[in-house]
């Protein structure tokens, strides 16, 4: 299915009032059609079905969607990659990184972190890559590295988590300090002792936001 076919279907669902609210929520950085997530996913059911049947990622389709000016089209990329997660490999990460590096804001970064992170569950080469990304000059790349293990629970590589966080202590960037707090808070659900000790050990170097977020469930 071509991206212009999907886009035509999305345009037919355009809602001006919803679009204004969605754009405002994203600080008016992106244009929106005003299409709700259930409607968006319904439009894409067929291409999801074909992708899963063929077990092949249609990167041309994804790139076309990503280049569209409307933010929902980038969300379609995230939806598609999530549906096709088990077919993604380490070799696909450079293609995904293009999405990480462009049209950046927390909504797409926080969608891509799980996608990259889940590749790491089956390919431990992601560990070294995330350690490298945690030192990148682009703070959005670093944010993804910090949060790529979210929801792994007992499978969390705590040594890697610690190294990645240490590479980002001392930052004044809100989105980095928030990510540090989220990663600690999430892991505290299964290992509060480790998180408590981490915060105690590094509290003098940690931003108050990170401590507050990371301590929420302790």
pLDDT tens, 74-121? 999 999 999 999 999 999 999 999 999 999 999 999 999 999 999 999
Mean per-residue pLDDT over the chain, rounded = 97
> pLDDT tier at 3 (50, 70, 90 boundaries)?
confident
- The pLDDT-based confidence of 148 (bands split at 50, 70, 90) is very high
CATH number of the domain that residue 146 is part of: 1.25.40.290
pLDDT at 2 over 80: no
Number of domains in the chain: 2
Residues 56 and 138 in one domain: no
81 and 140 together in one domain: no
Neighbours of 7 (CB within 10 A): 19
Per-residue confidence band for 130, with pLDDT thresholds at 50, 70 and 90: very high
In sequence order, the 6+-apart residues with CB closer than 8 A to the CB of 186 are: 150, 151
The CB density around residue 113, as the number of other CB atoms within 10 Å, is 23
What value does the mean pLDDT take over residues 5-23? 97
In this structure, is residue 188 part of a structural domain? yes
Q: Does the pLDDT at position 1 exceed 80?
A: no
Task: Write the pLDDT tens digit of every residue in 27-52.
Answer: 999 999 999 999 999 999 999 999 99
Q: Is residue 55 part of a domain?
A: yes
CATH code for the domain in which residue 83 is found: 1.25.10.90
| Domain extent for 162 | 115-217
Note the pLDDT of residue 154. Answer: 96
Give the contacts of 187 (CB within 8 A, at least 6 positions apart).
Answer: 149, 156, 158, 161, 194, 195
Question: Is 93 domain-assigned?
Answer: no
Same domain, 162 and 202: yes
């Amino acid at each position: 299915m071509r991206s212009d076919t999907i886009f035509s279907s999305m345009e037919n669902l355009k809602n001006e009032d919803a679009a204004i609210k969605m754009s405002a929520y994203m600080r008016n950085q992106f244009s929106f059609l005003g299409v709700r997530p259930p409607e968006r996913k319904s439009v894409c059911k067929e291409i999801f079905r074909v992708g899963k049947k063929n077990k092949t990622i249609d990167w041309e389709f994804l790139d076309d969607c990503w280049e569209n000016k409307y933010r929902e089209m980038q969300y379609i990329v995230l939806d598609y990659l999530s549906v096709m997660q088990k077919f993604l490999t380490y070799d696909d990460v450079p293609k995904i990184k293009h999405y990480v590096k462009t049209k950046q804001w927390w909504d797409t970064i926080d969608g891509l972190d799980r996608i990259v992170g889940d590749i790491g569950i089956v390919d431990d080469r992601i560990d070294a890559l995330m350690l490298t990304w945690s030192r990148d000059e682009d703070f959005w790349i670093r944010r993804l590295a910090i949060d790529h293990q979210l929801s792994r629970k007992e499978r969390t590589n705590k040594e890697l988590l610690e190294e990645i966080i240490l590479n980002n202590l001392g930052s004044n960037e809100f989105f980095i300090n928030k990510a540090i707090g989220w990663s600690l808070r999430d892991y505290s659900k299964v290992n509060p002792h480790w998180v408590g000790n981490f915060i105690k050990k590094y509290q003098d170097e940690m931003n108050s936001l990170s401590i507050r977020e990371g301590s929420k469930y302790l």
